[in-house]
């Protein structure tokens, strides 16, 4: 039985309906070795087959042990014989500029860049930081790392130089690839300056900054131009033969402490999971024009702009710019111009575009769309319904995909062809055992809220946190040997899961996880602040916004100017996406007797709700 809210959508290419989903799901859970082994064999190229599909010791696991592959072989080489002329990316930006690149051209450029990296001395296992805007060269740089076995660490280009240098130091990264600028809402933003500052600040001796994008910039001593250096390099370079469990990349994400966590993903399992979830969730077809609006600085870009789509030989739109700049119809124009068939974006973008009214999307031909998706935060029912009716014209399946940087790929979603429910991410993906439990790991009854955990392993589960064993183990300590997601969820009688938000101190602002502790440490580094608490409160568009409570040094008076200064300071030190909406100046922060800030008391105050148990409150 499906709920009354179910909306019936078009059947997917792979013919998943509830009956088939249930059958395949059951098989995948009962015999994961067979399920994943058969898929890995059928869907990917391996230089050498694995000895065992997976091995699990406690919470630690290894996938496709003994297998040898390279993700770029699966993303590029194997498509060349009869698909080299297919467009891999159509790049466009807010200036309306456009570039297209075929699989063959992309392959050639990746080879050249790989050769350059080798010439610079980059070796297998070295960490290369990529701090770049959403341009084709960013994808090329990332793939070039993977081709030669270097580990890429992509840092979102909105981060400040301090955030960039912290991540470079933590990863011990000695190479940095950047561009001289990006555009943000019509303004040229200088990225090279940030990169130079970060390199200076980094505790690791940075060997080379490689610069891309056409540039009149004068290069400094340890900098080279990608364009110039690769122009004389010719030829092919074999993809490095990688062990399935070799690291492919690290990606920093916010934790509950102020320290960002370097999530490690490995070659074999990640290749398979990114490939197969792209294929099934987006119901990939030969002539699709696919557009994921995420930034490659985050995991969504890694899995669903770069690796998944390329592995599936898809044509993707790559866009550098904001959703509503220069006008609120910019995105609808792009869908119409390129005839996009799949569109994958965030609830924040959906709500923002919804707030401009229906006339903008209605003024464009969106009939090419077949499937629309959402990721990053809960897609509330009203936004779901608008998205379905206005953008999906009542005919498109909606895939609301729940997952995390740590999971590497989609974990819960409603596959196209299955009944969909507004506000629900849906059903667990094949091989995924998702449970809603209490603090002791006991399963909650349907309809009751609880912690979302994942039992068992899957190919693209994080393998480690870079140089931080304790952080990695932390995922499995709350409920013994189960992966603790940190999200609160509820399951209904059909097994559909609704995600309600975070249970910890990570604030999802416009889908970006931002740690309260990290913002607090930035705010308290301001000369006028002694102590601070950062909380997330609901926002109609962004899901959550950050409010900071700050205690000032005795000699300083609070003022509106000081509030503005602190907000600007966070933008400068952390990155604009972490700026608080407001700073409240207070004499004291609510604390427990052991001195821990009780953020929930502040949250309750902001939301005019009951703060719950405050027996441990000191003041
Ligand atoms: O709280 C969940 C939310 O985003 C968190 C993961 O953030 P991050 O690692 O940055 O990855 C974002 C892109 C996958 C989750 O713990 N989240 C992600 N997708 C959804 C979601 N919340 C509700 N519904 C979703 N579809």
List pLDDT tens digits, range 347-401.
999 999 999 999 999 999 999 999 999 999 989 888 999 999 999 999 999 999 9
User: Which pLDDT does position 115 carry in this prediction?
Assistant: 97
Q: How far is the CA of 406 from the centre of ligand 1 (A)?
A: 10
Cα-based distances in Å from 285 to 223, 278, 290, 564: 42, 11, 10, 50
- Give the C-alpha separation, 403 to 594, whole Å: 34
Distances in Å between the alpha carbon of 87 and those of 83, 100, 105, 309, 317?
Answer: 9, 7, 9, 12, 10
pLDDT of 4 higher than 80: no
Q: What pLDDT does 8 receive?
A: 45
* Residue 233 to residue 598: CA distance in whole angstroms: 58
User: Residue 501 CA: which ligand 1 atom is closest?
Assistant: 1
Residues β-bridged to residue 443: 437
Confidence at 207, pLDDT banded by 50, 70, 90: confident
The per-residue pLDDT of the chain, averaged, comes to: 93
CA–CA separation, 559 and 550 (whole Å): 12
417-435 mean pLDDT:
96
Judge whether residue 66 has pLDDT over 60: yes
The pLDDT value given to residue 468? 94
Tell me which of 511, 518, 543 to substitute to probe ligand 1's pocket, judged by most ligand atoms within 8 Å of the beta carbon. 511
Per-residue pLDDT band for 3 (boundaries 50, 70, 90) equals very low
What confidence category does residue 502 fall into, taking pLDDT thresholds of 50, 70 and 90?
confident
Residues 190-199, mean pLDDT to the nearest whole number: 94
Atom of ligand 1 at shortest range from CA of 506 = 1
For ligand 1, atom 18, the nearest C-alpha belongs to 376
pLDDT of residue 511: 86
Using alpha carbons, list the distances in angstroms from residue 100 to 161, 220, 316, 441: 31, 31, 10, 50
**Ligand 1 atom nearest residue 379's Cα:** 24
Q: Hey, how many other C-beta atoms are within 10 angstroms of the C-beta on 383?
A: 21
pTM summary value: 0.92
B/e letters for 556-580, b = 16+ CB within 10 Å, e = fewer, are: eeeeeebbeebbebbbebbbebbbb
Residue 134's contacts (CB-CB under 8 Å, 6 or more residues apart) are 182, 295, 296, 301, 318, 319, 320
Q: At residue 194, does pLDDT exceed 90?
A: yes
pLDDT band with cut points at 50, 70 and 90 for residue 2: very low
CA 473, distance to chain mean position in Å, is 22
Atom of ligand 1 nearest to the CA of 486: 16
Percent of the chain scoring above 70 in pLDDT: 96
What average pLDDT does range 163-190 have in this prediction? 93
- Does residue 461 contact residue 61 with C-beta atoms inside 8 Å? yes
Task: Please give the distance, rounded to the nearest whole angstrom, from the Cα atom of residue 9 to the centre of ligand 1.
Answer: 24
pLDDT digits (tens, 9 = 90+) for 29-63: 999 999 999 999 999 999 999 999 999 888 899 99
Percent of the chain predicted with pLDDT > 90: 80
Q: What is the CA radius of gyration of the chain?
A: 24
Overall size of the chain counted in residues: 619
The model's confidence at residue 533, banded by pLDDT at 50, 70 and 90, is very high
Distance CA 188, CA 579 (A): 20
Is there a contact between 329 and 360 (Cβ–Cβ < 8 Å)? yes
Question: For ligand 1, which residues put their CB under 6 angstroms from it?
Answer: 253, 299-300, 375-378, 400-405, 425, 485-487, 499, 502, 508, 513
- Return the pLDDT at 1: 33
Give the model confidence (pLDDT) of 78-104 as tens digits.
Answer: 999 999 999 999 999 998 999 999 999
């Amino acid at each position: 039985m499906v709920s009354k809210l179910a909306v019936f959508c078009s059947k997917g290419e792979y013919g998943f309906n509830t009956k088939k989903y249930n059958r395949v799901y059951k098989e995948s859970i009962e015999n994961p070795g067979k399920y994943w082994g058969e898929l890995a064999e059928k869907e990917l190229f391996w230089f050498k087959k694995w000895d065992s599909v997976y091995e699990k010791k406690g919470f630690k696991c290894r996938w496709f042990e003994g297998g040898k592959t390279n993700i770029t072989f699966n993303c590029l080489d194997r498509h060349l014989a009869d698909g080299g002329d297919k467009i891999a990316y159509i790049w466009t930006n807010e200036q309306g500029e456009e570039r297209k690149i075929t699989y063959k051209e992309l392959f050639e450029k990746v080879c050249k860049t790989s050769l350059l990296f080798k010439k610079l001395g980059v070796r297998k296992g070295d960490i290369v930081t990529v701090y770049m805007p959403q341009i084709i060269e960013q994808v090329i740089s990332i793939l070039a790392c993977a081709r030669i076995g270097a580990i890429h660490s992509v840092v979102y280009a909105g981060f400040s130089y301090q955030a960039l240098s912290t991540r470079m130091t933590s990863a011990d990264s000695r190479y940095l690839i950047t561009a001289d600028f990006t555009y943000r809402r019509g303004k040229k933003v200088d990225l090279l300056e940030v990169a130079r500052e970060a390199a200076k600040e980094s505790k690791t001796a940075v060997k080379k900054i490689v610069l891309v994008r056409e540039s009149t910039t004068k290069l400094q001593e340890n900098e080279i131009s990608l364009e110039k250096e690769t122009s004389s390099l010719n030829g092919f370079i074999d993809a490095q033969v990688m062990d399935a469990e070799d690291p492919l990349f690290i990606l920093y994400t916010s934790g509950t402490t102020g320290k960002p966590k370097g999530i490690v993903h490995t070659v074999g399992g990640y290749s398979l999971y990114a490939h197969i979830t792209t294929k099934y969730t987006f119901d990939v077809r030969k002539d699709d024009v696919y557009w994921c609006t995420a930034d490659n600085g985050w995991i969504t870009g890694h899995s669903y702009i770069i690796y998944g789509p390329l592995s599936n030989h898809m044509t993707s739109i790559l866009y550098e710019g904001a959703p509503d700049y220069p006008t609120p119809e910019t995105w609808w124009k792009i869908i119409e111009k390129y005839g996009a068939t799949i569109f994958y974006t965030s609830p924040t973008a959906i709500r923002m575009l919804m707030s401009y009214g229906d006339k903008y999307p209605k003024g464009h031909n969106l009939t090419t769309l077949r499937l629309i998706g959402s990721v990053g935060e809960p897609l509330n029912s009203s936004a779901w319904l608008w998205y379905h009716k206005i953008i999906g014209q009542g005919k498109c399946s909606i895939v609301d995909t729940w997952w995390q940087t740590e999971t590497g790929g989609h974990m819960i979603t409603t596959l196209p062809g299955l009944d969909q429910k507004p506000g629900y991410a849906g059903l667990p993906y094949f091989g995924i055992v998702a449970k809603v439990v209490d603090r002791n790991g006991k399963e909650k009854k349907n309809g009751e809220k609880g912690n979302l955990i994942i039992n068992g392993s899957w190919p693209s589960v994080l393998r480690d946190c870079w140089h931080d064993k304790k952080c990695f183990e932390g995922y499995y300590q709350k409920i013994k040997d189960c992966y603790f997601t940190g999200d609160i969820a509820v399951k209904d009688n059909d097994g559909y899961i609704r995600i309600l938000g975070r249970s910890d101190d990570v604030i999802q602002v416009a889908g970006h996880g931002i740690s309260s502790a990290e913002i607090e440490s930035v705010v308290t580094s301001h000369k006028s602040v002694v102590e601070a608490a950062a909380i997330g409160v609901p926002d109609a568009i962004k899901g959550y916004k950050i409010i900071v409570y700050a205690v000032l040094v005795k000699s300083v008076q609070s003022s509106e100017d000081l509030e503005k200064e602190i907000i600007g300071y966070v933008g400068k030190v952390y990155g604009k996406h972490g700026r608080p909406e407001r700073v409240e100046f207070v004499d004291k922060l609510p604390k427990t007797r052991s001195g821990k800030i009780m953020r929930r008391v502040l949250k309750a105050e902001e939301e005019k709700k009951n703060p719950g148990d405050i027996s441990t409150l000191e003041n």
